[in-house]
Amino acid sequence: MKSGTVAVVGKANAGKSTLINVIVGEKVAIVSPKPQTTRDRILGILTTSDYQIVFEDTPGFYKSTTELNKKMQKTARKTAKDVDVVLFVLDGHAGVSDDDLKLLSSVIGEAPVIVAMSKTDIMPKENIPENLVKIASVEGVSEIIPVSARKSRNVKELISIITNYLPEQDRIFKEDVVSDKSEKFMVSEILREKILLKLDKEIPHGVAITVNTFERQKNGVYDINLDIVCEKQNHKSIIIGKNGAKIKEISAFARQDMEKFLNAKVFLTTYVKVKENWRDKESLISEFGYKGDL
Ligand SMILES: Nc1nc2c(ncn2[C@@H]2O[C@H](COP(=O)(O)OP(=O)(O)OP(=O)(O)O)[C@@H](O)[C@H]2O)c(=O)[nH]1
Ligand SMILES: [Mg+2]
């Protein structure tokens, strides 16, 4: 059978995680309209009787000077080096800039590079060809395909193109494995996703989640206790909100998704803590699980 690894790279917010979730058919990575949603390499695995594709989701490329961001960029660069195929996702709706083309050139290496121009559902049809021509001007690109993850347009075609570039070999993972991440990790990510969706700009970027308790009780209910670590005292007040309204709203929203994900009732408690400028402190970045060296 055909089997291999695919690094999914591109600018932050391009639609990498959304595309992987659609391809794999399950939510393996959180998604939000804010850049830098994905912080870690996350595997999403698609297995059929003919092939297994191991997608490696990565943090998007983004200009920021924090130590955390540097680690995230390192994770993406390293992931792109040691795979069978690189899938470069480019947001067609945002247009193809010189910066995009430069970034694309920088990932051309030994592995074939397939470009998926995403979000075609929200871009004028007549703009598609000129964007494709721009992308084709980059030397070393093996394939280009316009896709829409949201409308599942050209997703099957993309899978078939990727499969062509994979080696003949046995499966890497067992056939029923969809991700490499634990339920505990996903639960903390679900809370981070809701914070990304419900709070503005800088606050979610400075938030890390730590898991204090993740236990299934005898009655089947999950007892989950999470810390929301933020960077500043005034961020803490915003996250909590007036009379605790914001944190209540976020937690209720997160709990619903956790229950769906775990297929069980969840008893969720959350606390907000402050660790000043943790994104620039090596030891705290590691403590929160962002290693940057794969
Ligand atoms: N209309 C439309 N929106 C999309 C599509 N794919 C992704 N999006 C939206 O684009 C935003 C970013 O999607 P993500 O999947 O989080 O992007 P990402 O590339 O993983 O971003 P980072 O993890 O920050 O690097 C979200 O609001 C998605 O809903 C698409 O095909 N069509
Ligand atoms: Mg992502």
Ligand 1 center from residue 36 Cα (angstroms): 11
pLDDT exceeds cutoff 70 at 7: yes
pLDDT in tens, 254-287: 999 999 999 999 999 999 999 999 999 988 998 8
Query: Is the predicted pLDDT of residue 292 greater than 70, yes or no?
Result: no
Segment 147-155 mean pLDDT = 98
Atom of ligand 1 nearest to the CA of 62: 25
The answer to whether residue 294 scores a pLDDT higher than 70 is no
Evaluate if residue 201 carries a pLDDT over 80: no
Distance from residue 186's CA to the centre of ligand 1 (Å): 18
The residue-averaged pLDDT of 179-191 equals 96
Find the angle CA(275)-CA(279)-CA(282) to the nearest 5 degrees: 95
Mean pLDDT for the stretch of residues 148-153: 98
Residues in the 5 Å CB sphere of ion ligand 2:
16-17, 37-38
- Over 70: is that where the pLDDT of 289 sits? yes
- Please write down the long-range contacts of 136-139, taking CB distance under 8 Å and 24 or more positions apart: 137/101, 138/101, 138/104, 138/105, 138/108, 139/105, 139/108
Note the pTM of the prediction, 2 decimals: 0.96
Q: Which atom of ligand 1 is nearest to 14's Cα?
A: 19
Percent above pLDDT 70 for the chain: 99
By the 8 A CB rule, do 42 and 181 touch? yes
Mean pLDDT, residues 100-126 taken together: 96
pLDDT at 291: 74
The C-alpha atoms of residue 118 and residue 246 are separated, in whole angstroms, by 33
What average pLDDT does the segment 120-141 reach?
96
**CA angle 259–262–265, rounded 5-degree value:** 45
Residue 89 has pLDDT above 80, yes or no: yes
